[in-house]
Amino acid sequence: MRNLLLTLRYDGSRYHGWQIQPNGDTVQQRMCDAFFKISGKNENIIGCSRTDAGVHANMFCCNVRTDCTVEAEKIPDALNFYLPSDIAVYGCTEADYDFHARYDCKGKEYVYLIYNGRYRNPFYENKALFYPYEIDAFMLDNEAKSFIGKHDFSAFCSAGSEVKDKVREIYNFSVERKDDIIEMKVSGNGFLYNMVRIMAGTLLDVQQGKIEKGEISRIIESFDRNNAGSTVNGCGLYLNKVFY
């Protein structure tokens, strides 16, 4: 038996997230189906994260313990032959047998993209949030710095989360304009259910004046989800990097 670390990217537009579900097409199911084609067995493929429906990944890591004898460097090509065009494996290495893609993860970086043009752009459909109103990226970048540090982020976690410990450390949070694209980039040691989408929604609510400037620290300290902003659509969210 060997333990393989796979690295892939995917367009999550038509999937119900990573994790296998009884009534929805998922990235994990597609990966399992492809691996079955090359190993002849139903393997348990362990993902680094549970991305939501419609969320994308520039870098997603998973591991599989298998007795498949295909050489590691040949596995990406073999899997890509069977995978749909919106999922692509671009790395495979041998890992320690006890390595776990989720539990050994030291941190992640997410990007949230907003298309800030006057008119909708079909090339960003399901790839970025369409927001045709004014955005002051410099101001939001300053506001976003309030998220940095170790905090209890209960106010930025959707109801339904079963996680009891909601303390996470945010390493960096930036907001940058690149022509008509607003890029929100946040890294940390872990993230709660819908945390990044609520952070992005809170910043947009600051932009709209629904939340006053300088209030993010107070919202964090309130531990109350009702004080934070809206949860933006998952179409603009990308898992960008995974750290081990």
Work out the pLDDT band at 161, boundaries 50, 70, 90.
confident
Residue 163 confidence (pLDDT): 87
Work out the pLDDT band at 162, boundaries 50, 70, 90.
confident
Residue 165 is a catalytic residue? no
Residue 8 has pLDDT above 80, yes or no: yes
Work out the pLDDT band at 97, boundaries 50, 70, 90.
very high
Place of tokens 């362990």: 46
CATH 3.30.70.270, domain 107-243, yes or no: no
Roughly how many angstroms between the first and final C-alpha of the chain, as a whole number?
22
Residue 174 confidence (pLDDT): 98
Q: What is the mean pLDDT of residues 87-95?
A: 98
Which amino acid would we find at residue 164? Answer: K
Q: Where are the beta strands (DSSP E) in the chain?
A: 2-10, 45-47, 56-66, 87-95, 107-115, 129-130, 149-152, 167-178, 181-188, 237-243
d(CA 31, CA 33): 5
Asked if residue 75 lies in contact with residue 4, where contact means CB atoms within 8 angstroms, the answer is: yes
Task: Give pairs for 174-178: CB < 8 Å, separation 24+.
Answer: 174/141, 174/144, 175/137, 175/140, 175/141, 175/143, 175/144, 175/203, 176/137, 176/141, 177/116, 177/135, 177/137
Query: Helices 27-39 and 75-82 sit at what angle, rounded to 10 degrees?
Result: 120
Residue 185 confidence (pLDDT): 98
> What average pLDDT does the chain have?
97
Q: What is the mean pLDDT of residues 211-239?
A: 97
Percent with pLDDT over 70 in the chain:
100
Neighbour count for residue 28 (Cβ, 10 Å): 20
Residue 102 confidence (pLDDT): 96
Residue 59 has pLDDT above 90, yes or no: yes
Nearest residue to 94 via CA among 115, 124, 122, 64:
64
Burial of 88 (0-12, 13-18, 19+ CB in 10 A): middle
The domain segmentation of the chain, as residue ranges, is 2-95, 107-243
Residue 242 confidence (pLDDT): 98
Residue 227 has pLDDT above 90, yes or no: yes
Q: Which of 52, 96, 98, 136 is catalytic?
A: 52
Are the folds of 2-95 and 107-243 the same?
yes
Neighbour count for residue 3 (Cβ, 10 Å): 18
Residue 159 confidence (pLDDT): 82
Q: What is the mean pLDDT of residues 8-28?
A: 96
Residue 219 confidence (pLDDT): 98
Give the lowest-confidence range in 47-51, 61-65, 158-162, 222-226: 158-162
Residue 160 has pLDDT above 80, yes or no: no
pLDDT tens digit sequence for 165-186 = 999 999 999 999 999 999 999 9
Give the lowest-confidence range in 128-137, 153-162, 228-237: 153-162
d(CA 222, CA 153): 9
Give, in words, the CATH class of 2-95: alpha beta
